[in-house]
Amino acid sequence: MKYDFETLIDRRGHDAIAVDAVGSEQFKGTAPSKPMKGFDEIPMWVADMNFPTAKSIQDAIIARAQHPAFGYFVPTDQYYDAIAFWHRIRKGVTDLSREEIGYENGVLGGVVSALKVFASPGDAVLLHSPTYMGFTSCVTGNGYHIVHSPLKTDTSGVWRMDYEDMDRKIKENHIHIAIFCNPHNPCGRAWSRDEIRAAMEVYERNDV
């Protein structure tokens, strides 16, 4: 089997605050409290993957860990080639060079690196609210100012972007950078092609 999305793993005690923090004093107010007697914890409060990592990845990590020294490193040729390959087959980008690829080990570091290219501390950044708390802390922690464009529920209770509000906030606050989250956290909307196109038109029109 290539991927296993079926097995229920007992993650307790294996670097999993998703389950270990439930009901703990240390995470009071952040993690949910223990479920009532007779109920299981359903760790949906944090976006951990609850399926096993593909075996080829696990095998490569184990093989590397067999060598006992862990020093400073630079990304390998395979690292750059794998990223260029993915962009070629998935996105049709054929001219991605090494110089255009940075090394990041998490999404939030990547977000901050991108912010630093396009804006200076003190500048305003457009985000939809409700906002993933990781974005809030890394954007404000690096000295940027967040302007929220609230998502709204339509008559069927589906969360939608408010393009007019986005446009107005961008103009009022002289914004040239936005963070666009898809699927949106929190609320779980995977934006449709038309919704993404409409948002990109707002950004493009305003040089965001």
Ligand X SMILES: Cc1ncc(COP(=O)(O)O)c(C=O)c1O
Q: Shortest Cβ distance from residue 108 to ligand X (Å)?
A: 5
Residue from 181, 187, 196, 198 binding ligand X (CB under 6 A): 181
Tokens of 173: 């606050």
Identify which of residues 47 and 158 has a Cβ nearer to ligand X in the complex. 47
d(C-alpha 14, C-alpha 49), whole Å: 13
* Nearest distance from C-beta of residue 138 to ligand X, angstroms: 9
191 binds ligand X (CB under 6 A): no
- In this structure, the dihedral spanned by the alpha carbons of residues 8, 14, 15 and 16, taken in order and rounded to 10 degrees, is 30
DSSP 87-116: HHHHH------GGG----SSHHHHHHHHHH
Question: In the chain, which ranges are continuous DSSP H helix?
Answer: 17-20, 55-65, 77-91, 107-118, 133-141, 163-172, 193-205
Q: Does residue number 132 form part of the binding site for ligand X (CB under 6 A)? A: yes
The answer to whether 129 contacts ligand X (rule: CB under 6 A) is no
The smaller minimum CB distance to ligand X, of residues 9 and 133, is found at 133
Map the footprint of ligand X across residues 2-31, applying CB under 6 A: none
How buried is residue 197: exposed, middle or buried, by Cβ count under 10 Å (0-12/13-18/19+)? exposed
C-beta closer to ligand X: residue 114 or 181: 181
Residues 91-110 that bind ligand X (CB under 6 A): 106-108
Q: Does 134 bind ligand X (CB under 6 A)?
A: yes
Under 8 Å between Cβ of 149 and 128: yes
Considering the complex, what minimum distance in angstroms separates the CB of residue 134 from ligand X? 5
The answer to the question of residue 47 lying near ligand X (CB under 6 A) is: yes
180: nearest Cα among 165, 196, 198, 162: 196
- Per CB under 6 A, 50 contacts ligand X: no
CA Rg value for the chain: 21
Query: For ligand X, which is the closer residue by CB, 132 or 191?
Result: 132
Closest distance of CB 86 from ligand X, Å: 16
The residues that touch ligand X, with contacts defined as CB under 6 A, are 47, 106-108, 132, 134, 181, 185
